[in-house]
């Protein structure tokens, strides 16, 4: 489904949702019923990557109500040493 924009001369712009490629050149206005012409707009071709969207949402949320931290976060656990003793003979980085 796609959203198509139409502009009524009396009431202004309104949107109509139809299957892709099924937009009509004119659509009756939702308020007054007069035929409104379709407005061609740029398609929304980009999407915000989800990590960036999460970071942006967290930033916007903390701008008005900062999150209060009551304790120190736990330390990260280190990986366990390899069980195979031959791994100790390998060069260290």
Q: CATH number for the domain including 26?
A: 2.20.28
Confirm whether 25 is domain-assigned. Answer: yes
- Position 39 scores a pLDDT of 93
Confirm whether 66 is domain-assigned. Answer: no
- Position 44 scores a pLDDT of 63
- Per residue of the chain (93 residues), what is the pLDDT tens digit? 788 999 999 999 999 988 888 889 999 998 898 999 999 887 766 677 888 888 888 888 777 777 777 888 888 777 777 688 888 788 887
Three-class secondary structure assignment of the chain: CEEEEEEECCCEEEEEEECCCCCCCEEECCCCCCEEEEECCCCCCCCCCHHHHHHHHHHHHHHHCCCCCCCCCCCCCCCCCCCCHHHHHCCCC
Q: pTM (2 decimals)?
A: 0.47
Confirm whether 79 is domain-assigned. Answer: no
Q: What residues make up the domain containing 32?
A: 2-39
**Count of domains in the chain?**
1
């Amino acid at each position: 489904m796609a959203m198509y924009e139409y502009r009524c001369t009396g009431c202004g712009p309104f949107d109509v949702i139809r299957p892709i490629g099924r937009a009509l050149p004119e659509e009756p206005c939702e308020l007054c019923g007069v035929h409104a012409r379709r407005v061609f707009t740029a398609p929304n071709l980009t999407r915000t990557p989800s990590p960036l969207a999460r970071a942006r949402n967290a930033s916007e949320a903390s701008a008005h109500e900062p999150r209060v931290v009551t304790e120190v976060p736990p330390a990260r656990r280190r990986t366990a040493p390899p069980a195979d003793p031959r791994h100790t003979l390998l060069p260290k980085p």
